[in-house]
Amino acid sequence: MRFEPESLHGANAGLQVARGIMEGIKQEFPWISYGDLWTLGGVCAIQEMGGPKIPWRPGRIDGFASQATPDGRLPDGAQGAQHLRNIFYRMGFSDQEIVALSGAHALGRCHRDRSGFDGPWTFSPVTVSNEYFRLLLEEKWVWRKWDGPKQLQDKTTKTLMMLPSDYSLVEDKNFKKYVQVYAKDQDKWFEDFSKAISTLFELGVPRTQFVASEPWVMGGEE
Ligand code: HEM
């Protein structure tokens, strides 16, 4: 993502904002790789916003433009369950992990000038919680009538949104099973999310040359 064309892939739209913020830290600590800095930033952000501790270890080596992945390997919010499976199964994730990872949409929002979609998923977009799952199940979601891409809005306040890909988690029977578990049990979601995102952050990190010590946790043991 440091280079074109990967930085320009549609699914990365808007991430230049985050990369710009991280650049200041990279200048201050130039010895850390971009890959490690960005994942460590993610781990810290999740913790700071009240989420679970995520085991993290360094080792991601920065690549070059010539090693960019082809476009189309990242999920597309306009699509549904089959597409999510195509994208995430290739990386070795299960249905349960797809649902657990999607819960990150408790945070933040969609931007018209980035993805084209618009609005937040929850009422508390800077707090990590299982609200995304609860709202998916308990709200009535209707198609928003507007001139933008197809997305859903909550019938009650019309201020929240779901992408077609988010909504597929309650349309698909097997995905829905996990949405129901996580909507009821935030601790269970924290535990599963922590494991799945740790796996995601380590994909492609070379681990055969050396054996790192036990994964460590920011701030140490509780
Ligand atoms: C399941 C497939 C996924 C799809 C289709 C998807 C799609 C999207 C889209 C379209 C946006 C809006 C971007 C914008 O307009 O600014 C977004 C934002 C976001 N996504 Fe995802 N995403 C997926 C998975 C994930 C995962 C696995 C995570 C993290 C574990 C994640 C974390 C976020 C966050 C935190 C935002 C908000 C960014 C902001 O507030 O600027 N998403 N996602």
Domains of the chain, with CATH numbers? 6-72+198-202 (1.10.520.10), 81-196 (1.10.420.10)
Residue 42 clears pLDDT 80, i.e. is over it: yes
Distance CA 168, CA 76 (A): 12
CB-based contact 46:52 (threshold 8 Å): yes
**Mean pLDDT, all residues of the chain:** 94
Residue 211 clears pLDDT 90, i.e. is over it: no
Mutation pick for ligand 1 pocket among 110, 112, 179 (CB with most ligand atoms within 8 Å): 110
Residue 122 clears pLDDT 60, i.e. is over it: yes
196-189-201 Cα angle (round to 5): 20
Distance CA 114, CA 112 (A): 6
Beta-sheet pairing, 109-110 with 119-120: antiparallel
CB-side exposure of 137: number of CA atoms within 13 Å?
Answer: 16
Mutation pick for ligand 1 pocket among 89, 90, 95, 102 (CB with most ligand atoms within 8 Å): 102
Residue 145 clears pLDDT 70, i.e. is over it: yes
How many CB atoms sit inside 10 A of residue 129's CB? 19
Q: For residue 137, how far is its CA from the centre of ligand 1 (angstroms)?
A: 19
Residue 218 clears pLDDT 70, i.e. is over it: no
pLDDT value at position 110? 98
